Amino acid sequence: MPASPTAAALETIGLDLHKRESQLCILGIDGLVAERRIATTRERFTATLGGRAPARILLEASTESEWVARHLESLGHTVIVADPTYAPMYATRSRRVKTDKRDARTLADACALGAYRPAHRLSDAQRHVRAELAVRDTLVRTRTRMVAVIKALVRRDGLRLGAGTPERTARRFALLDATRDVSPLLRQEVAPLLAVLEPLNAQIADADARLAALAANDARVQRLMTAPGVGPVTATAFVATLDDVGRFRDAHQVMSYLGLVPSERSSGERQHRGHITKAGSPRVRWLLVEAAWRILRTRDADTAPLRAWAERIAARRGKRVAVVALARRLAGLLFVLWRDDVDYCAARVRSKEVAIA
């Protein structure tokens, strides 16, 4: 995007943001260049930039970028949070030498030239939802790892836990202990993990309850939950990740944004497509794949068109490819439900097979 006439009269600042210290490159209106390294704190940003005339500041999207951008905006500056995957933004950076000073200068030049692509900045509400999802994800992954260790220790002694959900692992071990000859050493080894599992299950249940409450108050999430295989966690994560459905022109762009489209390396007459790109949110991608597995494993009438479509792909390419293809189609379907403000209807889903990679 080209700089506006009024923007040309402002100082241009490139900010190479890091967790502890950040690098500033200030391109003055008079052509002078000033470089500074400061601590990444509100106090230092205020001391360094608070007394300056309004400037245009470009920084890359990162973990710290949102609070830094908001603080700098409160000081009267215009802040652009840029997409770090936009290659033209780094056109002036040397490939052989990379330093924070050079990166900050590159950002300042990109800001002056308009050679950047703004990143989407989440609303406060969706930032909170993403945080809740991240907390739940960490708790679930911790429990999954603990259950896997318990199962491995049990199998080492030639025993097996009965089938069941992770929440019932402690009960299943207690049943095994009551009916089989479990060694005292195995009890001793597993005891610390079982002691942690109960409060961990409670924390996951609380996280699910908080997400369910957020979902109940969001009409968009409720609409997406009409799709088969999509529960409150998947629907909430999808909405929190896209945030604004209007910034996507079509379903394919959403699929690409979530990393569910095949990678491609083509030149001339040679075309090669590989695995999916895995760009974007790993959490949403994983949840969509899990939803696809649920669709394949159920026999509800609502899932019939999608299931038939995926089963034809599975017959040619295998079930794993079919599941990823179904996750990709489900992402497009959720986008259409949200964009068009309609509920899922199995009768309207075309079962016609389309080409996939």
DSSP assignment, residue 165? -
* Whole-angstrom distance, CA of residue 230 vs CA of residue 339: 17
> Where is average pLDDT lowest: 71-85, 202-216, 276-290, 341-355?
341-355
Q: Tell me, what amino acid is at 211?
A: L
114-117 long-range contacts, Cβ below 8 Å, gap at least 24? 114/1, 114/2, 114/3, 115/88, 115/89, 115/91, 116/1, 116/58, 116/80, 116/82, 116/83, 116/86, 116/88, 116/89, 117/82, 117/83, 117/86, 117/89
**Of 354, 220, 212, 227, which is closest to residue 300 (Cα–Cα)?**
227
* Whole-angstrom distance, CA of residue 196 vs CA of residue 190: 10
Q: 3-class SS at 30? A: coil
DSSP assignment, residue 337? H
Query: If pLDDT is split at 50, 70 and 90, which confidence band does 160 have?
Result: very high
Mean pLDDT across the chain, nearest whole number? Answer: 91
Indicate if the pLDDT at residue 95 is higher than 80.
Answer: no
Tens-place pLDDT, residues 164-175: 899 999 999 999
The H or E element spanning position 261 is none
Average pLDDT over residues 238-250: 95
Cβ atoms of 40 and 64 closer than 8 Å: yes
Cβ atoms of 168 and 200 closer than 8 Å: no
Average pLDDT over residues 220-236: 96
- The stretches of the chain forming alpha helices (DSSP H) are 42-49, 65-74, 100-113, 124-156, 169-179, 184-216, 219-224, 232-242, 251-257, 282-297, 304-317, 319-340
Query: If pLDDT is split at 50, 70 and 90, which confidence band does 94 have?
Result: confident
* Whole-angstrom distance, CA of residue 196 vs CA of residue 142: 10
76: which 2 tokens?
């009267």
* Whole-angstrom distance, CA of residue 348 vs CA of residue 305: 9
* Beta-strand relationship, 262-264 and 78-82: unpaired
> Which pLDDT does position 351 carry in this prediction?
52
Chain-centroid distance of CA 25 in Å reads: 31
Place of tokens 């215009």: 78
109: which 2 tokens?
């030049």
Q: What CATH class is the domain 7-113?
A: alpha beta
**Of 151, 145, 183, 184, which is closest to residue 170 (Cα–Cα)?**
151
Output the pTM of the full model: 0.84
Express as a percent the part of the chain with pLDDT over 70.
93
Query: If pLDDT is split at 50, 70 and 90, which confidence band does 241 have?
Result: very high
Tens-place pLDDT, residues 19-62: 999 999 999 988 899 999 999 999 999 999 999 999 999 999 99
Q: 3-class SS at 91? A: coil
Cβ atoms of 126 and 211 closer than 8 Å: no
Indicate if the pLDDT at residue 355 is higher than 90.
Answer: no
Query: If pLDDT is split at 50, 70 and 90, which confidence band does 98 have?
Result: confident
DSSP assignment, residue 270? B
* Whole-angstrom distance, CA of residue 211 vs CA of residue 208: 5
> Which pLDDT does position 266 carry in this prediction?
67
> Which pLDDT does position 173 carry in this prediction?
95
> Which pLDDT does position 85 carry in this prediction?
86
